[in-house]
A and B are shown apart, each in its own frame.
Chain A
C-alpha cells in the first residue's frame, strides 16, 4: 500500500495530466454527440453577444459588397414585380387564389460568425427560435444554397455550412435534370464535388447546378454551383465533377432562412408509406 502511494506521489504530475486530459476529451465527445443540449457554445448569450458587437464593427468594411449584392437582388425582384408586366385585360384584379398556396417563407438573418478554414464549418445567425427558426430549415444566400440549421437557441441559430465534410445536398443539372449529391472535400472553400452523375450524361464546363427539391428543405431550381471541371476516372461508372460555388463564403453577411410550410405533411406521408411497405 505504501508503495502504491509512493508510486502515485512520484508520478502525480502525470496522473494530473491524465485526469485533466480525460476531462477535455469528455467535453469533446459529449459535444459531438449532444450538441443541441450543450450549453457552452457560440449560441449562448455571452459569446453570442460579443460576436454580435464584433460583427457590427465589421459591417462597415463590407458595406460595398453588401450594397452590390442587394442592388443585384433588387433588380431581379423588380423584374418580377407586377408593375413590370403589361396588363392585358381590364382594370380590376380579383385575387381569390386557390391554385397557389405559399410553400416557402423567407426570414432574413445576419451572419454573426462564420468560418471556412476548418474541416467542418458552421455559421451563426442572429435569429433563433423566438423568430420561428427550427432545426432542419434551409439557409440560402444571395447566390444560392448556404447550409442547413442545426441548433437553435432563443436568439441565435447555428448552421451547418455547405463546407462541412458530412453535409450532403441533393442537386441536379439544370439542363438535363440528372440528380446527384453535392459534397465538400475539405480542401478549397470555393469548390465542391458533385457525386453520383452517371457517365453517359452530356455536360459542359460552366453548366449550372440547381437544387433538386427532393429534400423539401430547399425549393426546386435554386442555384447551387457551376461546373468547373469534370472527367470519368478509368473503370468508373460515375463522373468526378468539381464545381465552383456561387456564393463567396468568405464574404457572406446576410442570408435567408427558409421555412417549408408543407414539410411536416411531406414527412408524415413519406414515413407512412415506408411503414406500409414493411
Chain B
C-alpha cells in the first residue's frame, strides 16, 4: 500500500511528461499520433475504487490538456476509459475471478489477457478522443481510419512498455 502511494504519483508525472515532451512530437504519416499515457489508467490496481479511478482519470487527462491546449478533450476521453474499465475487467475476468492485490499487467495475468485488455481500452479511448476532436460525424470513415491507425500504433508502444517493465516486476 505504501509502495503504491509512492509508485503511482511518480508514474503519473512520468507518463504526462513522456507524452507531452516526446510522444506528441512523433507522428507517422502526418496524422497518426501514439498515446502511451493511458497505460497509467490501465495499470491502476484492479480493486481500486471505481469512483477514485474516475477522479484520477479526470485530473490525469486534464494535465495532458493543459500542455496541448485542448482543454477537456483528453480529460473527457480518459473519464470515458475509466467508466469502461470495470466492464472491461468484468468481461475479461478469469473463470474463478481475480486474485487479491493483482495489478492488470502482463506479468500478473499473462500476455494474451493483457493484449486483449489494452486493445479494448485503447480503441475506446481513441474513438472517443478523435470524435471529440473533430466534433462532427460527417467525415465518419476518415476519422475512423485515424482512430484505427493510431490505435494500432499505441497498442504497439504500450506492449513494448509492458514488455520492458514486466521483467523488473517478476524480480521484485
Write the chain B residue with the least CB distance to A28. Answer: B72
How far does the alpha carbon of A38 sit from the alpha carbon of B72 in the complex, in Å? 12
Partner of A54, one of B21, B30, B50: B21
Contact B69 A41, beta carbon cutoff 8 Å: yes
Interface size band for B: 20 to 34
Let me know if B71 and A31 touch, CB within 8 A: yes
Q: Is B99 close to A, CB under 8 A?
A: no
Which residues of chain A (128-173) have a CB below 8 Å from chain B?
158
Choose the segment among A18-26, A102-110, A196-204, A216-224 that binds chain B (4+ C-beta atoms closer than 8 Å).
Answer: A18-26
CB distance from A158 to the nearest CB of B (A): 7
Residue in chain A with minimal CB distance to B83 = A17
Instruction: Describe B's contact surface by its main secondary structure.
Output: helix
Interchain CB contact under 8 A, B76 and A158: no
Q: Given the complex of chains A and B, what is the CA–CA distance between A263 and B130 in angstroms?
A: 39
Q: How far is the CB of B72 from chain A (nearest CB, A)?
A: 3
B151 interfacial by beta-carbon distance below 8 Å: no
B11 in the interface, Cβ–Cβ < 8 Å? no
Asked if residues A47 and B67 are in contact (CB atoms below 8 Å), the reply is: yes
The interface residues of chain B lying within 8 Å CB-to-CB of A27 are 62, 65, 71-72, 75
Q: Of A16, A21, A30, A188, which is within 8 A of B51 by CB? A: A16
Decide if B71 touches A21 in the complex (CB within 8 Å): no
Of B58, B61, B66, B76, which one neighbours A40 at CB under 8 angstroms?
B66
B79 contacts the other chain (CB 8 A):
yes
Is B132 a contact of A115 with CB atoms below 8 Å? Answer: no
Q: How far is the CA of A189 from the CA of B73 in the complex (A)?
A: 22
Residues of A within 8 A of B79 (CB): 17, 20-21, 24
Interface range for A:
20 to 34
> Which single member of B21, B50, B54, B72 contacts A31 (CB below 8 Å)?
B72
A20: chain B residues at CB < 8 Å are: 54-55, 58, 79
Q: Indicate whether B166 reaches chain A with its CB closer than 8 angstroms.
A: no
Contact indicator B58/A28 (Cβ below 8 Å): no
Contacts A16-B51, A117-B27 hold; do A41 and B71 have CB atoms under 8 A apart?
yes
Instruction: Please provide the chain B residues from 47 to 66 with a CB less than 8 Å away from any CB of chain A in the complex.
Output: 50-51, 54-55, 58, 61-62, 65-66
Query: Other CB < 8 Å A-B pairs besides A27-B71, A31-B71, A42-B66, 10 of them?
Result: A14-B83, A24-B72, A25-B76, A27-B75, A28-B72, A42-B67, A47-B66, A116-B27, A118-B133, A189-B30
7 A-B pairs with the lowest CB-CB distances in the bound complex, closest first:
A27-B72, A24-B76, A31-B71, A28-B72, A117-B27, A17-B83, A24-B75
> Which B residues fall within an 8 A CB radius of A?
21, 24, 27, 30-33, 50-51, 54-55, 58, 61-62, 65-69, 71-73, 75-76, 79-80, 82-83, 86, 132-134
A-B contact pairs, 16 of them (CB 8 A): A13-B86, A16-B51, A17-B54, A17-B80, A20-B54, A21-B76, A23-B58, A24-B76, A27-B62, A28-B73, A38-B71, A40-B65, A40-B71, A116-B30, A117-B33, A122-B69
